Amino acid sequence: MTPVFTYGTLEIPEVMEAVTGQVWASAEAWAKGFAKFLLKGRIYPGMTAVQGSICSGRVYYHIDSRTLEVLDTFEDEVYTRECIEVEVAEGRSLQAYVYLIRPQDRACLTTTPWQPDEFKSKHLVRYLEACKSFHRQLMHGSHPI
């Protein structure tokens, strides 16, 4: 069981539940030395190393290997899963998986910071439906993991 740090759509607990079919214990968290930016032509962000930056997000605890496979399938091909140090409440730090933009795909990032409130107001309802559909396809075997 491993923590997973999320910083975009998956940091919204309803999205994580729609994708995985489960509710997860979680907490606000921060990754020092990273920043999140919108991906070109997409409504969600990517995270990359940026010296001096701090990326806010949410860490989900006790993620099992099956759920990691689901998340690996859900994430776009421009991401790679890596382990980084993140901070949670009271300055406590822990190692967590995160989906970073692959070095060869950094050109896919814009310079526009991702705005979660804008995403929620403009896209969340449709995005949740798409995530629920993704999960249903996984459960019925029409989307291999």
Interval 101-134: pLDDT, tens: 999 999 999 999 999 999 999 999 999 999 999 9
Interval 12-23: pLDDT, tens: 999 999 999 999
Residue 1: which pLDDT band, with cuts at 50, 70 and 90? confident
Q: Kindly report the number of other CB atoms within 10 A of residue 82's CB atom.
A: 11
User: Mean pLDDT of all residues in the chain?
Assistant: 94
Interval 103-112: pLDDT, tens: 999 999 999 9
> Residue 74 and residue 106: Cα distance in Å, rounded?
19
Q: 31: burial class by Cβ within 10 Å (0-12, 13-18, 19+)?
A: buried
Is 144's pLDDT higher than 60? no
For residue 124, CA distances in Å to 53, 61, 137 come to: 26, 23, 20
Task: Give yes or no for a contact between 7 and 55, defined as CB atoms under 8 angstroms apart.
Answer: yes
Residue 139: which pLDDT band, with cuts at 50, 70 and 90? confident
For residue 83, CA distances in Å to 6, 53, 70, 96, 130 come to: 12, 18, 17, 5, 27
Q: Hunting for tokens 């995530």 — which residue is that?
A: 131
